[in-house]
Amino acid sequence: MSVYSNPVLRLITEEEDRQISMQLSITVFVNEQKYPLERIVDDEYNDNSDVWIAYCEKKMEDGTVQNDVPVGTVRYIDISEDVCRLGRLVVLSEARGLSLGRKLVDIVIQEAANRGKTTMFIHAQANKRGFYEKFGFVVEEGDDTIFHVDGDPHYRMWIRNIGKK
Ligand SMILES: CC(C)(COP(=O)(O)OP(=O)(O)OC[C@H]1O[C@@H](n2cnc3c(N)ncnc32)[C@H](O)[C@@H]1OP(=O)(O)O)[C@@H](O)C(=O)NCCC(=O)NCCS
């Protein structure tokens, strides 16, 4: 059995939860992937987005179980009446491969559907293209140029049929 189990996703409501999400982003994007800290902390959407955190039970080495351990996060940004954006998706390295990334993306797509959005886009790290394609995101013709964020190649990817399937 994995060290992590029984995931629960919660929409944050308190400022301290926003800090938990920020810390998860820093752990993965800054400490692991080496993006500059400013990329994460100086961002126009930090206070202007809806954020979910995935919590798990964690089985410790001594056999005890720690509850409510934050292991992943994602955010939803309203762009216009029809369009929204998914971003800041992270799952801690030790909790990957447990479908938490899938759950976090699914909940944001569901939120978009609930709000009547048709279209969602992301700026995806190029080596995550295959991950996002599993949800129906595509790189569109004419929009398939790789661009760089802090030297790291990215694609813009779209879903345009939310709520229409
Ligand atoms: C990308 C990330 C969120 C995936 O999280 P995860 O919890 O390991 O993913 P899941 O277990 O939910 O995987 C869902 C599916 O995607 C696949 N997948 C996972 N990572 C993938 C990748 N890099 N490329 C292609 N497919 C991938 C899994 O095999 C699984 O496939 P399946 O459902 O057909 O079995 C995680 O690797 C991560 O946080 N990476 C570092 C931060 C990052 O790069 N964020 C995205 C920035 S654009």
CATH, residue 118: 3.40.630.30
Residue 165 lies in a domain: no
Q: Is residue 145 part of a domain?
A: yes
Residue 164 lies in a domain: no
Residue at 124 is within a domain: yes
pLDDT tens for the chain, residues 1 to 165: 679 999 999 999 998 999 999 999 999 999 999 999 999 999 999 989 999 999 999 999 999 999 999 999 999 999 999 999 999 999 999 999 999 999 999 999 999 999 999 999 999 999 999 999 999 999 998 887 899 999 999 999 999 999 875
Number of domains observed in the structure of the chain? 1
- Which DSSP helix (H) or strand (E) runs through 154? strand 152-159
pTM score over 0.75? yes
User: 67 in a domain, yes or no?
Assistant: yes
Domain encompassing residue 110: 4-159
97 lines ligand 1 (CB under 6 A): yes
56 lines ligand 1 (CB under 6 A): no
Measured from the Cα of 90, ligand 1's closest atom is: 39
Nearest CA to ligand 1 atom 46: 89
For residue 51, give the nearest of 90, 5, 95, 94 by alpha carbon.
90
**Does 41 fall in a domain?**
yes
Best residue among 93, 128, 129 to mutate for probing ligand 1, ranked by most atoms within 8 Å of CB: 128
Q: Are 109 and 135 in contact (CB under 8 A)?
A: yes
